[in-house]
Amino acid sequence: MRLVVHNMLQCHVKGCDSNNFPLRLFDVELEIHEIEFNPQFLQSLLPKLDWNAFISTANQIGITSLPQALPEEIDEDFLKNLHRILFETHIMQGKMVCSNCSHEYPIKEGIPNMLLNEEEAEEEAEVEAEVETEAEED
Amino acid sequence: MRSILFYQLIKPRIFLRTYASSKKSQVSAFTVFDRKAKKLQRNRAALDIETSKQVDYLKDEVAHRLVDRLLDIKRNYDTIVDLGCGCGHIVKYMDHDISKKLVMCDMSEKMLERDKNIKYDVEVERIVVDEESLPFEENSLEAVISNLSLHWVNDLPDSIPKICVIHVIY
C-alpha cells in the first residue's frame, strides 16, 4: 500500500463517524519500488490530497522532509521528493488503527485488509460454542 | 425415556439457532446471502491457481466490454476503483490513457494475491474490502466500476448510494 491510497482510507466501523481519518500507522515495514516520475500526474493529484493527514502520516513512519503546509510555488525538487514518498514508498507490513474506535486494520504483504468481519466471526464462534454446551447439558 | 423425549423436543430449537446466529441483530429484508460463506468460497476458489485460471474467460470477456465502454467517456482518470475485482480482470484491459492507476478491491485476499506478480499497464493497488462496507473517504474517488460482482451484495438499494457518496461528482 502506498501513502497515496492511505490518504483516502477511513475507518468504516458502524457508528464510527468522527475523527476516523486518517488511520494511524503502526509497526510499519517500508520498501521502495521505483517507478517513472510523472510531474503532471502528481500536479493533478495534489488538490485531491488531504495534506494535513498526509503530513501527519508521513511523520508517523519517520518521513520528515515535507513542509507543514503545501508550498505555493512548486518546484521540481519538491515534486520529486513527493513522488518518492507518495508513489515509491510501499508499506509492506504493519497495521492501521482508527483514532476514534481503535479498530485495527492489518497490512500484510502490502495489502491492507479493511474487512470488519473478524470480530463478527469470533462472536459467532462463541454463540456456536454456547449452543453446543447447551446441547450437552440437555 | 424422559430424557430422550426432551432431547427430541430440544433438537429443532438448536438447529434453528445455529442458522439464525449468522444474521442476528442487523437483519434486513435484503439479507439474502451469507457473505462469510461467500468469502470462504472465493478464497478457496483462488487457491487452486491453474483451475481457477481456466474459468477466467467469462469475467475477462465482460471486463473487456466494460473497459470498451469506458473508452466512450471523453475524459481521463487518475484513479479508478474496481469494486469486486476478483483475480484482476478489468486491469488486463486497462491502459494508461484511461487511468493512471487502478485500485483493486475484493473481499477475498486470496483472489487479490493470485496474480500479484503480473505486471500491468497501469499502476495497481490492492485492498481487501467488503463491497457492503466501503472504507473510502467521501468524495475521494473519481470513478468506481464493478465487473460481475455486485450481484452478491445483499442490500443494493443501500450500497449504491454509498458508492455515490465516495465518488466525486464533476
Work out the percent of chain B whose per-residue pLDDT is above 70.
82
Cβ within 8 Å, pair A135-B10? yes
Cβ neighbours of A128 in B, within 8 Å: 18, 21
Considering the domain boundaries, does residue B7 fall inside one? no
**In this predicted structure, what is the pLDDT of residue B27?**
61
Backbone phi, then psi, for B81, in 5-degree steps?
A: -100, 130
Q: Could you tell me which residues come within 8 angstroms of residue B13 by beta carbon, excluding any fewer than 6 positions away? A: none
What confidence category does residue B6 fall into, taking pLDDT thresholds of 50, 70 and 90? Answer: very low
User: How many structural domains are present in chain B?
Assistant: 1
Considering the domain boundaries, does residue B10 fall inside one? no
Cβ within 8 Å, pair B128-A111? yes
The shortest C-alpha distance from A53 to chain B (Å) reads: 12
**In this predicted structure, what is the pLDDT of residue B29?**
74
Separation of alpha carbons A87 and A85, rounded Å: 6
Considering the domain boundaries, does residue B12 fall inside one? no
Asked if the C-beta of A128 comes within 8 angstroms of chain B's C-beta atoms, the answer is yes
**In this predicted structure, what is the pLDDT of residue A135?**
60
Work out the percent of chain A whose per-residue pLDDT is above 90.
67
Considering the domain boundaries, does residue B28 fall inside one? no
Q: Which residue of A has its CA nearest to B112?
A: A111
Which member of B78, B130, B133 has the closest CB to residue A41? B78
Residue by residue, DSSP assigns chain A as -BHHHHTTB----TT--SS--SPEEEEEEEEE------HHHHHHHGGGS-HHHHHHHHHHTT---S-SS--SS--HHHHHHHHIIIIIEEEEEEEEE-TTT--EEEEETTEEB---HHHHHHHHHHHHHHHHHHHHH-
Cβ neighbours of A116 in B, within 8 Å: 130, 133
Q: State the maximum Cα–Cα separation within chain B, in Å, rounded to a whole number.
A: 78
Considering the domain boundaries, does residue B2 fall inside one? no
Residue by residue, DSSP assigns B24-69 as -TT--TT--S-HHHHHHHHHHHHHSHHHHHHTHHHHHHHHHHHHHH
Cell of A50: 488531504
Provide the residue range defining the domain that includes B115: 35-166
B79: domain CATH number? Answer: 3.40.50.150
What confidence category does residue B115 fall into, taking pLDDT thresholds of 50, 70 and 90? Answer: very high
Taking CA atoms, B43 is separated from B38, B49, B52, in Å, by 9, 11, 11
Pick B129 or B15 by higher pLDDT: B129
Q: Which residue of A has its CA nearest to B5?
A: A138
Is the confidence at residue B109, as pLDDT, over 90? yes
Considering the domain boundaries, does residue B131 fall inside one? yes
Which member of A1, A110, A138 has the closest CB to residue B10? A138
Cβ within 8 Å, pair A38-B14? no
Work out the percent of chain B whose per-residue pLDDT is above 90.
59
Separation of alpha carbons A102 and A13, rounded Å: 10
ipTM given for this complex: 0.80
Considering the domain boundaries, does residue B103 fall inside one? yes
**What fold is seen in the domain A3-137?**
N-terminal domain of TfIIb (2.20.25)
Cβ neighbours of A134 in B, within 8 Å: 14
